Amino acid sequence: MANASKNQMYEEAGRLRDRIKSINQIQKYQSVYIKDMRNIDIFAIKIIDGKSCIHGMFYRNGSNYGNKSFFPIHDINAQENEILESFLFQFYADKEAPPKILVNCDKKNFKNVENILNTKNKQKIIIQNPITGEKHKHIKLAEKNAKENIKLKKASLENHHQALLKLKKLLKLDELPNRIEVYDNSHTFGNDSVGVMIVVDQEGLSPKNYRKYNIRYNTTPDDHSRIDDYYMMKEVLNRRIKKINKKEDAVIPDVIIVDGGRGQFNVVESILKENNLETISLMSVSKGKERNAGREIMHTLDENINLRANDPLLFF
CATH code for the domain in which residue 227 is found: 3.30.420.340
Do residue 179 and residue 281 come from a single domain? yes
Q: How many domains does the chain have?
A: 2
pLDDT of 313 > 90? The answer is: no
- Report the C-alpha gap between 55 and 147 in whole angstroms: 9
Q: How many CB atoms lie within 10 A of CB 103?
A: 26
User: End of a domain among 145, 180, 208?
Assistant: 145
Q: How far apart are the C-alpha atoms of 9 and 156, rounded to whole Å? A: 16
How far is the C-alpha of 208 from the C-alpha of 178, rounded, in Å? 15
Least confident piece of the model among 26-35, 120-129, 250-259, 290-299? 26-35
What span, in angstroms and rounded, lies between the C-alpha atoms of 41 and 127? 10
The C-alpha atoms of residue 292 and residue 314 are separated, in whole angstroms, by 12
How many Å apart are CA 145 and CA 26, to the nearest integer? 6
In a domain? residue 120? yes
Residue 8 is assigned to a structural domain of this protein? no
Least confident of 101-115, 149-163, 296-310: 296-310
CA dihedral 292, 295, 299, 300 (to 10 degrees): 140
Do 247 and 284 lie in a common domain?
yes
Question: Mean of the pLDDT values across residues 102-123?
Answer: 92
Which CATH number do you get for residue 61?
Answer: 3.30.420.10
Instruction: Let me know whether 264 and 188 are in one domain.
Output: yes
Average pLDDT over residues 112-131: 91
Work out the average pLDDT over 109-137: 91
pLDDT of 123 strictly over 50: yes
Same domain, 183 and 303: yes
The model's pLDDT over 161-180, given as tens digits with 9 standing for 90+, comes to: 888 999 999 899 999 999 99
Q: Tens digits of per-residue pLDDT, 28-39?
A: 444 444 556 789
Domain co-membership, 179 together with 121: no
Q: Is 15 within the bounds of a domain?
A: no
Using the Cα atoms of residue 157, residue 103, residue 112 and residue 208 in order, give the sign of their dihedral.
positive
Q: Is the residue at 208 inside a domain?
A: yes
Q: Are 42 and 102 in contact (CB under 8 A)?
A: yes
Same domain, 107 and 220: no
Q: Are residues 185 and 309 in the same domain?
A: yes
Q: What is the pLDDT of residues 248-288, one digit of tens each?
A: 678 899 999 999 889 999 999 999 999 999 999 999 998 76
Measured between alpha carbons, how far is 205 from 153 in angstroms, rounded to an integer?
12
**β-bridge mates for residue 57, sequence order:** 42, 67
Looking at the structure, tell me whether residues 119 and 239 fall in a common domain: no
Residue 92 scores a pLDDT above 90: yes
Task: State which residues form the domain around 181.
Answer: 171-315
Greatest pairwise CA separation for the chain in angstroms: 73
In a domain, 163, yes or no: no
- C-alpha to C-alpha distance for 256 and 199, rounded to whole angstroms: 10
| Final residue before a domain boundary, out of 129, 145, 161 | 145
Q: What is the arithmetic mean of pLDDT over 188-208?
A: 86
What's the CA gap between 57 and 64, in Å, rounded?
8
Whether residue 188 is found in the same domain as residue 307: yes
